[in-house]
Chains A and B, each alone.
Chain A
Amino acid sequence: MSSEEPYNDTVRRHFANPAHAGDLQAGYPHAVAAEVSESEAGLRILLSAQSDGNIIYRLRYRVFGCPHLIAAAEELCSRLEGGPAEGLQDVPVAQLMELLEVPVEKTGRLLLLEDAANALHEACCRLLPGNHAGQEKGTKLARKQSKD
């Protein structure tokens, strides 16, 4: 990636084909969601999952932010969908930064994505047997605001 080219091929590919963009808040059973925002740059990330608390069957995102953040959300969703919910607790921020060649000044944006994933994990845990809050009330939305 040259200094004149701000986005590498992976960012461009994800940005052009955001396959996991969307949400699962309406019409999906066992759906949970988490939203985080950052006021200074106006960033917003909404992650939603269809899960039984153990497995993430579907994972979707909505993002208000730059191409790097959109690409990171797309990459994360494609990696974690179909896997264990614990994956949401272990977002490989450094790996994503390297893969997407995210400028260091945008590190906070990926940490915000990590916050969203962690919040979604908490919501997924509430779906486990013995905690039926998510199923009883439909989609649960966890919100968090950061000043980054």
Chain B
Amino acid sequence: MTPGKEIIYLDDAATTPVDPVVAEAMQRCLSGGGAFANPSSIHIAGRASRAQVERSRAQVAKLLNTAPGNLVFTSGATESNNLAIAGAARFRSHRGRHLVSMPTEHKAVTDCFAALEREGFEVTWLEPDQRGLLPIGDLEAAIRPDTQLVSIMHVNNETGVIQDIHQIGDACRRHGVLFHCDAAQSAGKLPIDLSALPVDLMSLTGHKFYGPQGIGALYLADRPECRIRPLFHGGGQERRLRPGTLPVHQVVGLGAAAAIAVERQPDDLAHAERLNARLWKGIRDVRGITRNGDPGHCFPGILNVSIDGIDGESLMLALEPLCVATGSACNSQSGEPSYVLRALKLTDRLAQSAIRFSFGRFTHESDIDAAIGVYTGAVDRLRSIMPKATA
């Protein structure tokens, strides 16, 4: 961001703004008389902190319709994903070393699987169809007698494509395979009922649904098969699965965010749908524009578009002060086009021009209107600089 420019923030899929009610709850926790003590301490102050932690756990559990005891606090979705995937794979490695996932998963998942491959595990990577969805027949065909774990995300962080996790979970249950779901983009935003979903492990993080960064949770189904090996060793916190002193103010923030989400989710979703429709209507006539991900299967808080014949890096600079993500959102250091969009069979040229708009509770229609103006203006300006045949 250029100092002095007022930003237009449409990057909720990276991090949502913290809800003021959440910030207030955290502030109370950090201020004098708040829950500053170690929740593992048995004295009165420690017990007060513990009460705050367990209240938050219950709030997150209510959001997911599960029991509080099924949740382990972590530092966020990356840690939850690693704990679930590596933890389950290693725990079950004596039964088999075959795992299944998709190349369109977040790096926190794909890189974890890559690390397991180096440990001797075998991973089958299932390609999405052109809509970005997992063909369920491909999953069924990929599962083998030695398959131990399937990991498929709920909502894709780049395209917003929603996988049918009920159907995927059913297939896994039929074959006796654990199913992990990265719900970083959906928890708190889409209804999730873990009492009805055949999901064994689910990752979530606070900063994607108006909570603070640095706090997340892992759900473990209350089933005998659903056991994992911890990544860290130390104290006995979090059922020995995630040792370390809990950051009480972060946990309180996560709980507050979950409590708000329980109340606001239907309204937030309807709001996102209105914003999505308004944004697409405003840019759909731009020459060469393509919508990435099947709109019929997408979370409405994300709209990903590519545009033929525009350099993505120049587009990002031309879009300032609009805060959005590029087609190389998670690969900005490498400058490589998005591996997610390439998996959807986009050409490198289209993938590198991709822009992900993401928005939510605190996005106003005026933000969308401003974004439309900035985006269309930037495309026109870059086309006036480019060689004609390209433009």
**Contact of B311 with A by CB under 8 A:** yes
* Set of chain B residues within 8 Å of A64, measured between Cβ atoms: 309, 311, 386-387, 390
Mark each residue of chain A from 97 to 132: 1 if its CB lies under 8 Å from any CB of chain B, else 0.
Answer: 000000001000000000000000000000000000
Question: By the criterion CB–CB under 8 Å, are B388 and A62 in contact?
Answer: yes
B295-317 interface (Cβ within 8 A of A) = 309, 311, 313-314, 317
**Contact of A67 with B by CB under 8 A:** yes
Mark each residue of chain A from 35 to 59: 1 if its CB lies under 8 Å from any CB of chain B, else 0.
Answer: 1000000101110000000000000
* Set of chain A residues within 8 Å of B388, measured between Cβ atoms: 23, 62
* Set of chain A residues within 8 Å of B348, measured between Cβ atoms: 42
Say how far A23's CB is from chain B's closest CB, in angstroms.
8
> In the complex, which of the residues A21, A23, A70 has the most CB atoms of chain B within 10 Å of its own CB atom?
A70
- What 10 pairs between A and B have smallest CB-CB spacing? A66-B313, A62-B387, A21-B385, A46-B387, A64-B390, A64-B386, A67-B317, A44-B387, A67-B314, A42-B349
* Set of chain A residues within 8 Å of B317, measured between Cβ atoms: 7, 12, 15, 67
* Set of chain B residues within 8 Å of A42, measured between Cβ atoms: 311, 348-349
Question: By the criterion CB–CB under 8 Å, are B386 and A44 in contact?
Answer: yes
> Taking A7-B317, A42-B349, A65-B314 as contacts, is the C-beta distance between A70 and B385 under 8 angstroms?
yes
Q: A70's contact among B2, B309, B314, B387, by CB below 8 Å, is which? A: B314
Question: By the criterion CB–CB under 8 Å, are A62 and B385 in contact?
Answer: yes
Chain A contact residues, CB within 8 Å of chain B: 7, 12, 15, 18, 21, 23, 35, 42, 44-46, 62-67, 70, 105
Residue of B whose beta carbon sits closest to that of A61: B385
> Taking A42-B349, A67-B313 as contacts, is the C-beta distance between A21 and B390 under 8 angstroms?
no
Q: A66's contact among B314, B384, B390, by CB below 8 Å, is which? A: B314
* Set of chain B residues within 8 Å of A45, measured between Cβ atoms: 387
Question: By the criterion CB–CB under 8 Å, are A65 and B387 in contact?
Answer: no
Question: By the criterion CB–CB under 8 Å, are A65 and B384 in contact?
Answer: no
* Set of chain A residues within 8 Å of B309, measured between Cβ atoms: 64
Residue of A whose beta carbon sits closest to that of B349: A42
B56-85 interface (Cβ within 8 A of A) = none
Residue of A whose beta carbon sits closest to that of B332: A6
* Set of chain B residues within 8 Å of A66, measured between Cβ atoms: 311, 313-314
Say how far B170's CB is from chain A's closest CB, in angstroms.
44
Q: B386's contact among A35, A63, A67, by CB below 8 Å, is which? A: A63
* Set of chain B residues within 8 Å of A62, measured between Cβ atoms: 385-388
Q: List 18 A-B contacts (CB under 8 A).
A: A12-B2, A15-B318, A21-B385, A35-B387, A42-B349, A44-B386, A45-B387, A63-B385, A63-B386, A63-B387, A64-B390, A65-B314, A66-B311, A66-B313, A66-B314, A67-B314, A70-B314, A70-B385
Say how far A130's CB is from chain B's closest CB, in angstroms.
31
> In the complex, which of the residues B349, B385, B390 has the most CB atoms of chain A within 10 Å of its own CB atom?
B385
Say how far B5's CB is from chain A's closest CB, in angstroms.
11
Beyond the given A15-B318, A42-B348, A63-B387, please list 10 additional residue pairs across the A-B interface where CB-CB is below 8 A: A7-B317, A12-B2, A35-B387, A42-B311, A44-B387, A63-B385, A64-B387, A64-B390, A66-B311, A105-B335
Residue of B whose beta carbon sits closest to that of A5: B2
**Cα of A105 to Cα of B384 in the assembled complex, Å:** 26
**Cα of A46 to Cα of B2 in the assembled complex, Å:** 30
* Set of chain B residues within 8 Å of A67, measured between Cβ atoms: 313-314, 317
**Cα of A72 to Cα of B350 in the assembled complex, Å:** 25
> In the complex, which of the residues B2, B311, B318, B386 has the most CB atoms of chain A within 10 Å of its own CB atom?
B311
**Cα of A63 to Cα of B318 in the assembled complex, Å:** 14
Residue of A whose beta carbon sits closest to that of B310: A64
Question: By the criterion CB–CB under 8 Å, are A18 and B385 in contact?
Answer: yes
**Cα of A105 to Cα of B2 in the assembled complex, Å:** 24
**Cα of A7 to Cα of B317 in the assembled complex, Å:** 9
Say how far B315's CB is from chain A's closest CB, in angstroms.
10
* Set of chain A residues within 8 Å of B387, measured between Cβ atoms: 35, 44-46, 62-64
Residue of B whose beta carbon sits closest to that of A68: B313
Mark each residue of chain B from 378 to 391: 1 if its CB lies under 8 Å from any CB of chain A, else 0.
Answer: 00000011111010
Q: A65's contact among B311, B318, B335, B349, by CB below 8 Å, is which? A: B311
